[in-house]
Amino acid sequence: MSTLETVLLVLLIVDALALTTLVLLQQGKGADVGAAFGSGSSNTMFGSSGGATFMTRVTTWLAVGFFVIAFGLAYTAKERAAAAGQIGIPQVVTPDSEPEIPVVPENQLGDDIPQL
Protein backbone atom coordinates (compact mmCIF):
# COMPACT_ATOMS: atom_id res chain seq x y z
CA MET A 1 0.00 0.00 0.00
CA SER A 2 1.40 3.39 -0.91
CA THR A 3 1.93 6.25 1.49
CA LEU A 4 -0.93 8.25 -0.03
CA GLU A 5 -3.36 5.37 0.50
CA THR A 6 -2.20 4.97 4.09
CA VAL A 7 -2.68 8.67 4.82
CA LEU A 8 -6.12 8.67 3.17
CA LEU A 9 -7.16 5.58 5.12
CA VAL A 10 -6.09 7.12 8.44
CA LEU A 11 -7.95 10.35 7.57
CA LEU A 12 -11.05 8.34 6.65
CA ILE A 13 -11.00 6.49 9.98
CA VAL A 14 -10.52 9.70 11.97
CA ASP A 15 -13.28 11.42 9.99
CA ALA A 16 -15.66 8.49 10.50
CA LEU A 17 -15.02 8.44 14.26
CA ALA A 18 -15.50 12.21 14.54
CA LEU A 19 -18.68 12.07 12.46
CA THR A 20 -20.08 9.22 14.54
CA THR A 21 -19.29 11.00 17.80
CA LEU A 22 -20.80 14.28 16.62
CA VAL A 23 -24.00 12.61 15.41
CA LEU A 24 -24.40 10.80 18.72
CA LEU A 25 -23.91 14.06 20.66
CA GLN A 26 -26.69 15.86 18.82
CA GLN A 27 -30.22 15.90 20.13
CA GLY A 28 -33.02 14.45 18.09
CA LYS A 29 -35.95 16.39 16.69
CA GLY A 30 -38.16 15.14 19.52
CA ALA A 31 -36.05 16.98 22.10
CA ASP A 32 -37.48 20.31 20.91
CA VAL A 33 -40.91 19.36 22.22
CA GLY A 34 -39.58 19.34 25.77
CA ALA A 35 -38.29 22.89 25.35
CA ALA A 36 -41.84 24.10 24.68
CA PHE A 37 -42.83 23.01 28.19
CA GLY A 38 -39.96 24.82 29.89
CA SER A 39 -37.16 22.29 30.05
CA GLY A 40 -34.58 25.08 30.02
CA SER A 41 -32.89 25.00 26.65
CA SER A 42 -31.40 28.44 27.37
CA ASN A 43 -28.81 26.82 29.63
CA THR A 44 -26.89 25.34 26.72
CA MET A 45 -23.30 26.11 25.89
CA PHE A 46 -24.13 27.77 22.56
CA GLY A 47 -26.97 30.00 23.76
CA SER A 48 -30.74 29.74 23.61
CA SER A 49 -30.76 28.38 20.06
CA GLY A 50 -28.49 25.57 21.17
CA GLY A 51 -25.67 24.15 19.19
CA ALA A 52 -27.91 23.06 16.36
CA THR A 53 -26.48 25.39 13.74
CA PHE A 54 -22.86 24.88 14.80
CA MET A 55 -23.15 21.10 15.08
CA THR A 56 -25.14 20.87 11.86
CA ARG A 57 -22.45 22.74 9.97
CA VAL A 58 -19.65 20.63 11.42
CA THR A 59 -21.60 17.45 10.64
CA THR A 60 -22.12 18.60 7.07
CA TRP A 61 -18.42 19.32 6.55
CA LEU A 62 -17.37 16.03 8.13
CA ALA A 63 -19.78 14.15 5.84
CA VAL A 64 -18.45 15.98 2.77
CA GLY A 65 -14.90 15.20 3.88
CA PHE A 66 -15.80 11.54 4.38
CA PHE A 67 -17.11 11.20 0.83
CA VAL A 68 -14.19 13.11 -0.71
CA ILE A 69 -11.67 10.91 1.11
CA ALA A 70 -13.58 7.75 0.16
CA PHE A 71 -13.61 8.77 -3.51
CA GLY A 72 -9.88 9.55 -3.26
CA LEU A 73 -9.22 6.08 -1.91
CA ALA A 74 -11.29 4.52 -4.68
CA TYR A 75 -9.37 6.50 -7.30
CA THR A 76 -5.97 5.45 -5.93
CA ALA A 77 -7.10 1.81 -5.81
CA LYS A 78 -8.26 2.02 -9.44
CA GLU A 79 -4.97 3.55 -10.52
CA ARG A 80 -2.99 0.89 -8.67
CA ALA A 81 -5.03 -1.88 -10.30
CA ALA A 82 -4.54 -0.32 -13.74
CA ALA A 83 -0.79 0.00 -13.17
CA ALA A 84 -0.60 -3.63 -12.07
CA GLY A 85 -2.31 -4.71 -15.30
CA GLN A 86 0.06 -2.62 -17.43
CA ILE A 87 3.29 -4.02 -16.03
CA GLY A 88 2.31 -7.58 -16.79
CA ILE A 89 0.96 -8.83 -13.49
CA PRO A 90 -2.06 -10.95 -14.40
CA GLN A 91 -5.32 -9.96 -12.80
CA VAL A 92 -6.59 -13.54 -12.57
CA VAL A 93 -4.16 -16.39 -12.03
CA THR A 94 -5.19 -19.66 -13.68
CA PRO A 95 -3.24 -22.90 -13.37
CA ASP A 96 -1.65 -24.25 -16.54
CA SER A 97 -2.39 -27.89 -15.76
CA GLU A 98 -4.92 -29.89 -13.81
CA PRO A 99 -4.04 -30.46 -10.16
CA GLU A 100 -2.97 -33.97 -9.33
CA ILE A 101 -5.42 -35.93 -7.19
CA PRO A 102 -3.65 -38.37 -4.87
CA VAL A 103 -4.67 -41.97 -5.34
CA VAL A 104 -4.87 -44.17 -2.26
CA PRO A 105 -4.00 -47.83 -2.89
CA GLU A 106 -6.85 -50.23 -2.27
CA ASN A 107 -5.11 -52.03 0.58
CA GLN A 108 -4.77 -48.76 2.57
CA LEU A 109 -8.43 -47.75 2.52
CA GLY A 110 -8.91 -48.82 6.10
CA ASP A 111 -9.99 -52.30 7.06
CA ASP A 112 -11.40 -51.06 10.36
CA ILE A 113 -14.38 -49.38 8.64
CA PRO A 114 -17.46 -51.56 9.16
CA GLN A 115 -19.14 -52.79 6.01
CA LEU A 116 -22.86 -52.21 5.67
Domain membership of residue 21 as a residue range: 3-27+49-86
In a domain, 99, yes or no: no
Cα dihedral 27, 30, 31, 36 sign: positive
> Distance between CA atoms of 2 and 6, rounded to whole angstroms?
6
pLDDT in tens, 75-85: 998 888 887 77
Q: Which long-range contacts (CB under 8 A, 24 or more apart) does 56-60 make?
A: 58/22, 59/19, 59/22, 59/23, 59/26
pLDDT in tens, 8-38: 999 999 999 999 999 998 877 665 555 556 5
In a domain, 44, yes or no: no
In a domain, 41, yes or no: no
In a domain, 111, yes or no: no
In a domain, 14, yes or no: yes
pLDDT band at 2 (very low <50, low <70, confident <90, very high): confident
> Distance between CA atoms of 31 and 33, rounded to whole angstroms?
5
Q: At 6, which amino acid appears?
A: T
Per the structure, the count of domains in the chain is: 1
Q: Residue 19 in contact with residue 63, Cβ under 8 Å?
A: yes
